[in-house]
Amino acid sequence: MPSWTLRIRDGFEAAHALRSYKGEPETVHGHSWQVEAELVVEKLDDEGMGFDFVEVRGHLRRLSARFDHGDINATPPFDELTPTTEHLAKYFFDELSRRLPDVGLTAVTVWEGPHCSATYRQ
């Protein structure tokens, strides 16, 4: 069956530190984070859209705003969970799935800079 893959991104600036990087606490440092939601749709609406980018990006922005220009380690659940890129990808996936249960979310990729990312899919 034909399908379309939609990708919607948002970004934020934030610091973090791994709690036990190679056995030692990491120095707090910042990244220009990008979060990309991937949706798969099998049909288009009357306008020819699979899903409204603006709606998905709005949810990404609200989720990203929790971390923007702050320390991820100080923001739940990362005040207890190590804020790895992998954990952030799962966090964004779970939160978007809860807020948009019927959009066909297939994956979330979090970039911690231009060269490194982690993708979580269910």
Residues 6 or more apart from 120 whose CB is under 8 A from it? 86, 89, 90, 92, 93, 107, 108, 109
pLDDT tens digits, residue range 4-42?
999 999 999 999 999 988 888 899 999 999 999 999 999
pLDDT tens digits, residue range 52-62?
999 999 999 99
Residue identified by tokens 């964004």 is: 92
pLDDT tens digits, residue range 92-107?
999 999 999 988 999 9
pTM summary value: 0.94
What pLDDT score does 79 carry?
Answer: 97
Spatial separation of the C-alpha atoms in residues 11 and 45, rounded to whole Å: 28
CB 67 within 8 A of CB 12: yes
What pLDDT score does 116 carry?
Answer: 97
Residue 88 scores a pLDDT above 90: yes
Residue 70 scores a pLDDT above 90: yes
Burial 35-49 (b: 16+ CB within 10 A, else e): bbbbbeeeeeeeeee
Give the chain's domains with CATH numbers.
4-121 (3.30.479.10)
What pLDDT score does 39 carry?
Answer: 97
8 by Cβ neighbours in 10 Å (0-12 / 13-18 / 19+) ranks as buried
